[in-house]
Structure 1
Amino acid sequence: MERLRTLGGWLHRRAGDVASIMLAVMFIAFICQVVFRYVLNLPVGWASELSIVMWLWLVLWGAAFVVREEEEIRFDILYSSVSPKVRRGMVILSALAALFLYGYSLPATWDFVTFMKVTKTSYLDIRYDWLFSVYILFVLAVLVRYTYLLIQAIRGRGGDSAKTGDQF
């Protein structure tokens, strides 16, 4: 089990490294766009397109592999004001809802992403199926994450119980 935690920590750090590289690429593309447009008076579309692609990938990659469960946005005022048993029920209901909605949408999402292979971006010639493939990774990561959270909540354990000292 300890080796699995070590591997998980290493993978989480590498996912953070990938996100950092994407942020750096996005920043450099933005600076290039400003320099080309306002210093050289030569607007270029590739820099804007690269910034948008990196933003899309950064947000979905980060939400899928970098942001931890306890860092996700939630209604903390409501969540922290209820008893641990009610909190456990909230986790179970939200996990079931997320699993149903993302699971139900996965086949249609797959169809759409694979259909988009017929189109490419204007400047960088990136096929849209490659561009949108990060959303498939995001959905799969959400399904895995919420399956884990559901199992933990059913067993009476959860990510917040360690943080607040409460037990379900």
Structure 2
Amino acid sequence: MFLRKIANAIGGLLFLALFLTFLVQITARFGFNQPLPWSDELAVILYLWVILWACAFVVPEKEHVMFDLVWNSVSPTTRRLMRLVGHTLIGGLAIAAIPASWSYVHFMAREKTAVLGLSFEWVFLPFVLLLLSLAARSWHGLVQAMNNRDLDIHEANP
């Protein structure tokens, strides 16, 4: 619970920074007719961080977009099998992608953003965090499905 509060606080601060950057950008562009190149770049970087951070650590599995027409029409046994296969595929692909993704992100440390001069390693780091989170969530989902718990994710943790 404590880690969730920290993740939510970080997500909120990232969004606040994005919002403030956006306000500075609008004020400079339309109020003073002086567009600021750094605000465009920072807004893009913060947007990337907000989306990937929220997906990795803030939004619970039951809140992610899903198409549940098939899920609602099958038996609990089939749902369990679907969860096992789904979590195995998602977690397996995330685990398989981590080494190459980290290698690329680490390789991009040599490149800098055009205006702010930030290392692209920091720009793309949340993608690796997302993959790690997907792997951990999939492992948790597999354990839950193997123990025949939490099969209806729409009703779990209301």
- Normalising by structure 2, we get a TM-score of 0.93
> Cα deviation per residue 1:5-59 (whole Å; 9 max; x = unaligned)?
xxxx121122111111111111111111111111111111111111111111111
Verify the 8 A CA contact 1:92 1:153 in the aligned structure 2: yes
Match of 2:64 in 1: 72
Q: Distance in 2 between matches of 1:148 and 1:84?
A: 19
The reply to whether residue 152 of structure 1 matches residue 152 of structure 2 is: no
| Structure 1 outlier segments of 4+, above 6 Å | none
Q: Distance in 1 between matches of 2:7 and 2:86?
A: 26
- Normalising by structure 1, we get a TM-score of 0.87
Structure 2 spans left out of the alignment, 5+ residues:
none
Q: Distance in 1 between matches of 2:151 and 2:2?
A: 20
Within 5 Å, which residues of 2 pair with 1:12-161?
12-158=4-150, 160=152
Count of matched residue positions in the alignment of Structure 1 and Structure 2: 156
Alignment partner of 2:155: what SS? helix
Q: Distance in 2 between matches of 1:155 and 1:108?
A: 32
Q: 1:17 to 1:65 in 2, by over 3 A?
A: same
Q: Distance in 1 between matches of 2:72 and 2:133?
A: 26
Structure 1 spans left out of the alignment, 5+ residues:
1-8
Q: Distance in 2 between matches of 1:13 and 1:51?
A: 24
> Cα deviation per residue 1:79-110 (whole Å; 9 max; x = unaligned)?
12211111111111111111221111111101
Q: Percent identity?
A: 32
